Amino acid sequence: MIKTFTHETLLRYVYNELPAKETQSIEQALLHDADLAARCADLLQAQRLLDALQHGPSDRAVDNILQYSRTFMRSS
């Protein structure tokens, strides 16, 4: 029997948010379904890329904001 998985279910699998039984079901399907494995690999790659993104403003942006705010402090 071929079981289909939604995009949401695959996302939950990638983020380890599924119950153990459902995780096992997906892992069995990944062994036999190349298309599902490719979709899952794409999601894992996207997860790694998103996790690697910078989570705050750059030092240059902070410096620009501080420099701008100093113009108000001088004029007071």
Question: What is the C-alpha separation between 1 and 25, in angstroms, rounded?
Answer: 12
Determine the longest span between alpha carbons in the chain, in angstroms: 75
Q: Would you list the domain boundaries of the chain?
A: 7-75
pTM score: 0.66
Question: What is the C-alpha separation between 42 and 20, in angstroms, rounded?
Answer: 22
Query: Once rounded to an integer, what is the mean pLDDT over residues 10-21?
Result: 96
**Which structure tokens are listed for 2?**
């071929």
pLDDT in tens, 16-64: 999 999 999 999 999 999 999 999 999 999 999 998 887 888 899 999 9
